[in-house]
Amino acid sequence: MRPLVIASANGHEFTNGGRETCVERAFALMVSGTDPIQALVEGVTIVELDPGDTSVGFGSLPNADGIVELDACCMDASRRRAGGVAALQGVATAAAVAARVLEDTSHHLLAGAGAQAFARACGFPIVDDLNSERSRALWMEWKRRLAAHEATAGMSRIEAGYAIGLDMSLEGLLDANHLWGTIHCSALTPRGALAAVTTTSGLAWKLPGRVGDSSILGAGLYARAEAGAAGSTGRGESNLFGLSSFFIVEAMRRGAHPKDAAIDALRHIVADTTAPALLNGRRQPNFNVKFYAMNARGDHASAALYGGDDVRYAVCTENGAELRLCDALLDGPML
């Protein structure tokens, strides 16, 4: 089997001051014999520790209270094991903690204070604040703009906070792709084993305690040895509603090509998006979702609701790493 690693675009954009990107490190470790989960975790750790990426780990955009909360999950298809953490505070390397849940417990998911206590027991250092100067400044600007809506309660205030984030992305204060965040990375080893890891800080300025799709099996990622692996980035609630990663892997198990399976999952998201606050002027989703899929033979693809020259995914083979364009379901700009 030809070994393969695919990831969201930030898997081949950040190095945290080193020489390797996520997919390069994961591929090199995997082909040298390292366990694929460990190889993927070490790859995504590069992005988690790089403050230049505001969507995962240290320096990621915090919740509405200014606190960074992280979600992550690992899935090993060969061993049929998985582990995840949700609403984890104080540990930038959430994927590494999720891997310990996989290895050291019989559970699939630990959350909140329990996840942090487990990380501490495993020897992970706990820090008071995972914000960088940049992420805290962006949160303070968002908070300033939200002040006009402080007297508003319920869903309208939530929608106002989301709209402010969209405005800030349009103004170039933050990357629209990082309003939701996340890095996903999947691997096919030389022996044909499949594994996947997803890690994120979730929606920028989310309600404290909000958990998105990244830590949930079948949503943020899924892998089956006889079928393939899939994962996602983008608006987690839309992905959770349809358990899209499970949907894609099941479609590949039935013979669908990764691209066709991912596009079909996107069609379901479009059909399920009816809330006015989530629609643009063309009555289409005002957010993006991207899927990354590979089957057990090594065919792979990435598809997004909205494409463009900057909507890409990372691929690493024996020929090296590169960014490739994602296929898109919808025409026109997202907003």
For domain 4-131+175-330, give the CATH number: 3.60.20.30
**Residue 109 and residue 106: Cα distance in Å, rounded?**
9
pLDDT (tens place) for every residue of the chain, 335 residues total: 899 999 999 999 999 999 999 999 999 999 999 999 999 999 999 999 999 999 999 999 999 999 999 999 999 999 999 999 999 999 999 999 999 999 999 999 999 999 999 999 999 999 999 999 999 999 999 999 998 776 666 667 778 888 898 899 889 898 777 778 799 999 999 999 999 999 999 999 999 999 999 999 999 999 999 999 999 999 999 999 999 999 999 999 999 999 999 999 999 999 999 999 899 999 999 999 999 999 999 999 999 999 999 899 999 999 999 999 999 999 988 88
Q: How buried is 80 (Cβ within 10 angstroms: 0-12 exposed, 13-18 middle, 19+ buried)?
A: exposed
In angstroms, how far apart are the furthest CA atoms of the chain? 59
Number of Cβ atoms within 10 Å of the Cβ of 140 = 11
Q: Give the model's pLDDT for residue 16.
A: 97
**Residue 79 and residue 312: Cα distance in Å, rounded?**
31
Residue labelled with tokens 């949907």:
247
Kind and range of the H or E element at 7? strand 4-8
Beta bridge partners of 196: 75, 186
Number of Cβ atoms within 10 Å of the Cβ of 307 = 20
How would DSSP label each residue in 87-144? EE-S-S-HHHHHHHHHHH-S-SEEEHHHHHHHHHHTT----S----HHHHHHHHHHHH
Active site members: 182
Q: Is the dihedral of CA 145, 150, 156, 159 positive or negative?
A: positive
**Residue 296 and residue 316: Cα distance in Å, rounded?**
16
Q: Give the model's pLDDT for residue 152.
A: 62
**Residue 175 and residue 135: Cα distance in Å, rounded?**
12
| Whether the Cβ atoms of residue 215 and residue 85 lie closer than 8 Å to each other | yes
**Residue 237 and residue 239: Cα distance in Å, rounded?**
5
Kind and range of the H or E element at 170? helix 155-170
Q: Give the model's pLDDT for residue 335.
A: 80
* DSSP assigned state of 279: B
Nearest CA-CA partner of 241 in 220, 263, 256, 262 = 220
Domain map (residue ranges) of the chain: 4-131+175-330
| Whether the Cβ atoms of residue 184 and residue 196 lie closer than 8 Å to each other | yes
Number of alpha carbons in the 13 Å side-chain half-sphere of residue 97:
35
Q: Give the model's pLDDT for residue 155.
A: 60
Q: Give the model's pLDDT for residue 73.
A: 98
Q: How far apart are the first and last CA of the chain?
A: 42
**Residue 238 and residue 249: Cα distance in Å, rounded?**
17
